[in-house]
Every structure is written in structure tokens, then in C-alpha cells.
A = this chain, B = another copy of it.
Amino acid sequence: MYTMTDNKNLLLRNKATIVYSISLAFLLFLLKWLEIRFIIFDHSFEIYIGAIAVIFTVLGIWLALKLSKPKIETIVVEKEVYVNRNENFVLNASLVSQLELSKRELEILSLLAQGHSNQEITAKLFVSLSTVKTHIQNIFEKLDVKRRTQAVEKAKRLNLIP
């Protein structure tokens, strides 16, 4: 099966070469034949050359059309998938990676969104207030926001948190 496919590809790939070779052979034969007639009958030299020019131009055009590869144009169609806010939350993992948000940062972002204060977050995660503040600061930088309400709004909009 594979051998069959290979053979088939070989023929297809070299089709133009084969065709041109055969055509050239035929045209050379034609040249010789016309040359003989020219020598014998001494017809107009210009007509002969003109015929050569036209014939080979046509051959060139035909060959170019066969050889040219179709230009591939890719169109990206954005298909909007509507997601109900909480039910079908799908994490935008690529964006999380792009923004370089760590697991801890996402965790804290979630707790912000749930309405917790910094002090409450310390109790939930068993860390100090300054740790929480540091994480929040990092989150703000990565999301390019100034306050927690902005962070939450943006994170939900971008599907970073449910």
C-alpha cells in the first residue's frame, strides 16, 4: 500500500518534467523537419523563426500554469462559544500561562473574587498578611490593574477564575 502511494507520488511530482521532456523531443523533431524543408525549399526565414517563437512561448505559458503552486490562504474564523458564567467555566489555561500566573496567585485571585478581605485570606491559607499582600501585588502587575475589583472583573472576563 505504501509502495503504491510512493509510486503514485513520484509520477505526479515529475509529471511536468516528463511532459516537458516529451514536448521538447517532439519540438526538436519538428525543428529538424522544418529545417529540412527550409533547406530544401528555401522558404521565408522569418516565418520559420516566428513559428519557433510562438510555439515555445505557448509551451512556456502552459508549463508555468502547471508548475505554479496554489497560494494557500488561511482564514481564522473565531467561533464564539457562549459560556454561562459559573456552570461551564473552562479555564483559559493558555492565557494563564501567557500571563505567567502561578497556582498560588490564581488561588488568591479566586478568594478575592469570593469577597474575602486580606485578613480572611491569611486565615484560609495559613500565611501572613504580608504574604497575601505580596501575592496580590504580583497579581495586579500581571493583570495590569490597580485594585482588586479590577482584578476580579478582568480575571472573570478572561476566564482565569470561575
Contacts and interface: CB of A to CB of B under 8 A. Distances in A.
Number of copies: 2
Contacts of A54: 56
A152 B80 CA distance: 23
Contact of A116 (B64, B68, B149): B149
Counting contact residues on chain A (CB < 8 A from B), the size range is 35 or more
Contact of A81 (B64, B81, B112): B81
A92 B84 contact: no
B73 A153 contact: no
B77 A80 contact: no
A85 B154 CA distance: 14
A99 interface: no
Interface in A60-118: 60-65, 67-68, 70-85, 87-88, 90, 92, 112-117
Interface of A: 24, 27, 31, 35, 45, 49, 52-65, 67-68, 70-85, 87-88, 90, 92, 112-117, 145-154, 156-157, 159
